[in-house]
Structure 1
Amino acid sequence: MKRKTSQACLKKKYTYNILDNLELDIYIKDNIYEIPLDKLFAMAARKNKKRSFLFVSKVLGKHIPVNPFVPLIAGAALAARYMQIVHNENSKKIKEIINALVEESNINEVCDDMYKNPFKLSEPCIFIGFAETATALGQSMYSYFSNSGAYIHTTRELISNLKSIINFEEEHSHATSHRFYSIDPNILESKNTVILVDDEITTGKTALNIIEAIQKKYPRKKYVVVSLLDWRSDEDIQKFREKEEKLNISIETVSLLSGNIKEKGKISKKNKFNKMDNIDIKINCNIKYINLSEFFKNLITLSSKDSLGYENDSPYLLETGRFGIKEINKEYIESKTKIIGNYLGEMRSGNKTLCLGTGEFIYIPMKIASYMGEGISYHSTTRSPIYPYDKIDYGVKNIFKFESPDDPSIINYIYNIPYRYYDDMYIFFERGIKKERLKSLLEILKKLGIPNIFIVTCSGKIN
């Protein structure tokens, strides 16, 4: 991918040749920590009528395999930036946090220190992470505060016998509807500040949609929208000001990097993209099933219904945040994921291990992976369809698609797994699932050249 840099209108300009004739100009307005762009993201072309490109994050642990501590320290960086902008507090720790994010220097120790010595909020807040990409980012940021209030993430799941408190749309997404379930029906009743966490703001419409939905039923005075990247145009920023006036509220924004973007050109449909899911080569691999139910005791006994009408009655984990968690739950999460990480780490057969979260289930597997030893890479499956292409600096080198075990009508994807690179793979599911629903996924996993594959369920088993 060719990238040019120039200075224009006091904004630093970067031009990315993404694929074919598709180009993107990026004008940087604010990069206070001087984080190199290529440490935060790579570019890729995606299959979406509303936006043909994607910022493929290098710090989320979603599409690109990363050290599991990287997404955790990204949450700490957002927490530090939040304290700077919202509370005008400049932490002495910010330099080591950014060094850990960029260079991965002492990253384990910095994460541990931040967890033991979190930022203290003057009053509790309600943190909300957006599904599916930012569920872990939101929880990671939340974990680095004391007096933090509650954390909950939106979901695309349809929960039986529990009413969604609010509903809203993510207009540019391939899966647009968000739901908001909570075991505490009063989670939004307070007047506390709501902190919305996403990996990226492009127009801000999703944030404005949820703000309007909350404000309609649970009015309050203040919202903060937090993201790694903020690409809103001047027109988009003005819409935030208009929403503030209309609803008589305050909306602050926090990001590590902000600027404007301009798309040019398009992708040729004649392009031959890299596909690996149709490779017939398979190696013998050992597939083992692990049930971690004995480790998790805080279960949410609710069932879900997929688009085919199948009802899954395996309990959910409280600790994911899908139904809300509070500060009291943090120590339990820390202790349990450490015990499980040590337990699973003992099963490793080599030095290179891949841990995969699934869909919205990202944070708990990431925390477990962080305790499994050296040589761990982490990312997760996704609904996002992206064009793969094997060239330098391009964000998605290969693609593997399969039917989601949670809902076979939905196609899921795994990206960026080199053939025969890993010794072991652990793929984590929150809940038990039918074995027959794993068939499509297992066919893909057998083509990766990984000798040992562990299918891990945290609540319920494969049956």
Structure 2
Amino acid sequence: MSAGRAAPGRIWPGEWVAARLGVRLVDGERPAGVGLADLAGLAVRRNPRRAHLLVSTVLGKHVPTDPRLVYGAGLLLGRLVRARLKQEPLDDPLLAGALAQNDGAAVALRDAHKGPHAPIQAVVFGYAETATALGHAVADALGGAYYLHSTRRPVRGFVPYGAFEEEHSHATSHLILPADPDAFDRDVPVVLVDDELSTGRTALNTIRALHAARPRRHYIVAALTDLRDDTARAQTQSVAAALGARIDAVALATGRVELPPGILPAGQRLVASLSSGADPARDGHAARHAVERVDVGWPDGLPEGGRHGFRPEDGRRLGEELPAMADRLARALPAGRRRVLVLGFEELMYAPLRLAEALADARPDLEVRYSTTTRSPVLAVDDPGYAVRTRLVFPAHDDPPDGPGERYAYNVARGFDLIVLVVDDVGDTPALAAGLLRRLAGVADVLLVTVPAHRRQSR
């Protein structure tokens, strides 16, 4: 069955690409009761390796989304992992209602899976930059399993546990930098979390790297969508046999993307035809709105995410402190604002997500949405049948090791009364003030929240 259709009364944000490039989404199994078109729209990449991009409706990366839906979908994926590990069935009807934006459905989805959960012996590994918060949510659903995500940021004092390549990405190199390698280096099931499982090569590259450092008996690959074909699935089992390990996969929806011959040059021609002349993403937007700083009181010693590891006790402490942080943020909001975007920063996705979630709970009179900036270059087309309608372009502001370059914020250029930008202190630089903050201030008033990046503690 083709999944490239909109829900009744709505335009599917993939129709534009489907009509021009002939991309089709075809459903397979629907473990969460939804299909591929429910979980993703389509856009066109500015990337020489791939023409199309699946743009998730539940990830909160490119599309501003209710943070309760984002966190709830991640928790649901974690429940699928839990069901696989415990050999238990899981039947959840709530995701479809949340995607349909039924009243209270996103909150119901989040609350149904939030726990508390009995801990499961496992470690969870997420992929930067897209799946860092998604991996956190999966770990939360496993009762606060130890969590670590890859990073593209070398950090002084941290010795790499390993590294691997993401072959199809525009920024391919990933580092693994746990503060406590022993917490990660255990023979318990390893859950690898990504937003999309296309060929499975990145996951297999990671499993080989992890297995070379410390053999494990069981790996589970968890993704929002599993698009592997029969050849890729067979390759997964071949790698498992060669390693003497078990490799399972779970996803909210499975299926395939059908691509016509010649799609890559066709996509490149489409990008070229729509990118000639001045780039509207660069024009205008002179700073005219206010920019203010807000101290939400991020707790001393609490990691801002899983770049160097996030323990169950870190998750419990964050849960205890979130209401007070959300209250400080809510008291700083200018009067009269209704539509608020909480915008995270590349790999820093989980802290902004949980702040956005807590703010939405504390202020039900607000329409709170969540998304993050990204390295990924995507064509923007202002059409309701296209998933990325606006883009802001700005320079990198955290002194990245691969040098200066463009960064992007999608679908944030209209419709918000206030933008709450959350960055870590490494990214709070003069380049931030001159770049992203200036661009955002051309859109709406901005509140800047800076959280401390986790650092190696001196002995």
Match of 1:312 in 2: none
Using the alignment, how far apart are the partners of 2:203 and 2:134 within structure 1?
Answer: 16
Count of matched residue pairs:
424
Paired position in structure 2 for 1:282: 286
1:414 aligns with 2:409: yes
Which ranges in structure 1 are unaligned for 5 or more consecutive residues?
6-14, 299-316
Unaligned runs of 5+ residues in structure 2 are 6-13, 454-459
Per-residue deviation, 1:17: 5.3
- Residue 34 of structure 1, CA deviation: 2.8
Aligned residue number for residue 378 of structure 1: 370
Q: How far is the alpha carbon of 1:412 from its aligned partner?
A: 0.8
Q: Counterparts of 1:386 and 1:377 in 2: how far apart (Å)?
A: 21
Match of 2:130 in 1: 133
Residue 4 (structure 1) shift: 6.1
**Would you say the 8 A contact 2:39–2:57 is kept in 1?**
yes
- Aligned residue among 300, 312, 319 for 1:297: 300
| C-alpha separation in 2, matches of 1:281 and 1:228 | 35
- Mapped to 1, the partners of 2:283 and 2:19 lie a distance apart of 25
| Secondary structure of the structure 2 residue equivalent to 1:320 | coil
Given residue 288 of structure 2, which amino acid in structure 1 is its aligned partner? Answer: N
Greater mean deviation of Cα atoms: 155-164 or 334-343: 334-343
* Structure 1 Cα separation of the partners of residues 138 and 200 of structure 2: 20
- Give the CA deviation at 1:88: 2.7
Which has the higher mean CA deviation after the structures are superposed, 377-386 or 158-167?
Answer: 158-167
- Equivalent position of 1:313 in the other structure: none
2: CA distance, partners of 1:67 / 1:124: 31
Matches for 1:421-460 after TM superposition, within 5 Å:
421-432=415-426, 433-448=428-443, 450=444, 452-459=445-452
For residue 217 of structure 1, report the CA deviation from its aligned partner: 1.3
Which secondary structure does the structure 2 equivalent of 1:161 belong to?
coil
Q: Which residue of structure 2 aligns with residue 306 of structure 1?
A: none
Q: TM-score, normalised by structure 2?
A: 0.86
User: Conserved in 2, the CA contact under 8 Å of 1:71 and 1:140?
Assistant: no
Please, which of 386, 401, 411 is the counterpart of residue 393 of structure 2?
401
Displacement after TM superposition at 1:149 (Å): 3.1
**Whole-angstrom distance in 2 between the partners of 1:96 and 1:192:** 31
CA 1:378/1:21 → structure 2, altered by over 3 Å: closer, same or farther? same
The 1:98–1:117 alpha-carbon spacing in structure 2 relative to 1, beyond 3 Å, is farther
1:391 maps to which residue?
383
1:275, 1:399 within 8 Å by CA — same for their partners in 2?
A: no
Deviates more, 1:344-353 or 1:259-268: 259-268
Give 1:9-408 correspondences, 5 Å limit: 18=17, 21-91=20-90, 94-96=92-94, 99-103=97-101, 105-118=104-117, 120=118, 123-146=120-143, 148-264=144-260, 265=263, 266-267=266-267, 268-269=269-270, 270-273=272-275, 275-282=279-286, 284-292=288-296, 294-298=297-301, 318-349=303-334, 350-372=337-359, 373=363, 374-407=366-399
Q: CA deviation at 1:334?
A: 1.2
| Residue type of the alignment partner of 1:56 | V
Q: Is the 8 A contact 1:129 1:135 kept in 2?
A: yes
Q: Deviations over 1:285-317 (max 9, x none)?
A: 11112344x43211xxxxxxxxxxxxxxxxxx5
The question of whether the paired residues in 2 share the 8 Å contact of 1:193 and 1:222 is answered with yes
Counterparts of 1:52 and 1:180, CA distance in 2: 29
Compare the two structures and name the one with the higher strand fraction. Answer: 1
Contact 1:357–1:365 (8 Å) recurs in 2: yes
Task: Indicate the SS of the match to 2:325.
Answer: helix
2:309 & 2:285 partners in 1: Cα distance?
A: 44
Amino acid at match of 2:446: I
Aligned mates of 1:245, 1:459 — CA distance in 2: 43
Where does residue 456 of structure 2 map in the other structure?
Answer: none
Offset, 1:254: 0.3
- Single out whichever of 38-47 and 432-441 deviates more from structure 2: 432-441
By percentage of residues, which structure has more helix? Answer: 2
CA RMSD across the alignment: 2.3
Change (3 A) 1:455 1:58: same
Letter in 2 for 1:135: T
Between stretches 155-164 and 180-189, larger displacement belongs to: 180-189
- Structure 1 residues 281 and 211 mapped into 2: Cα distance closer, same or farther (>3 Å)? closer
Q: Secondary structure at the match of 2:435?
A: helix
TM-score (norm 1): 0.86
Tell me how far apart the structure 2 counterparts of residues 4 and 102 of structure 1 sit (CA, whole Å).
16
Is the CA contact (8 Å cut-off) linking 1:3 and 1:16 kept in structure 2?
Answer: no
